[in-house]
Structure 1
């Protein structure tokens, strides 16, 4: 969907696809297998790390820490 260079978005892409730049930027910032489900779980209140780990019982500790 988006062209990413080593420094971020390609300037030509931003000019050509101005309307999807925000969506593509957010998607690239949130990339990761677990981020969307973690954000969904956190949407109503703050949670402790152990609560997130219990909710996502099959995620490794390293992956949860990175996400």
Structure 2
């Protein structure tokens, strides 16, 4: 068996590496919402209504460290504008994210239900 090494970590297979970068409940979702271009933090919060602020901040920081997204600060005096966007590495995830999205939609067509816009409020 051939092991893989990336960023000083060793993985038994490509799936293990991919899941290290994209795993968890939120990383792939955040990347999916960044696929069409840059977004500000609050734009992501509005689109991903069920994520907490702390989780979004943590996930953005981790994906920035992994090189999947970039964080750009515009301006030097408050209020500064901070935007996030996919890096070239992050853009390579788009076909995977689209395939997973299509699979999820297919599951709903077969055994689920499509709902309109939901207004979810935090407790």
TM-score range, shorter-chain basis?
A: 0.5 to 0.7
When normalised by structure 2's length, the TM-score is 0.38
Structure possessing the higher radius of gyration over alpha carbons? 2
Q: Is 1:36 aligned with 2:37?
A: no
1:11-22 equivalences in 2 (<5 Å)? 14=12, 21-22=13-14
1:8 Cα deviation from its structure 2 partner:
4.0
* Unpaired stretches in structure 1, ≥5 consecutive residues: 1-6, 15-20
Q: 2: CA distance between counterparts of 1:27 and 1:61?
A: 23
Q: Which has the higher strand share?
A: 2
Structure 2: state its 5+ residue gaps.
Answer: 1-7, 60-123
Matched with 1:48 is 40
| Higher helix fraction (1 or 2) | 1
Runs of 4+ residues deviating >4 angstroms: none
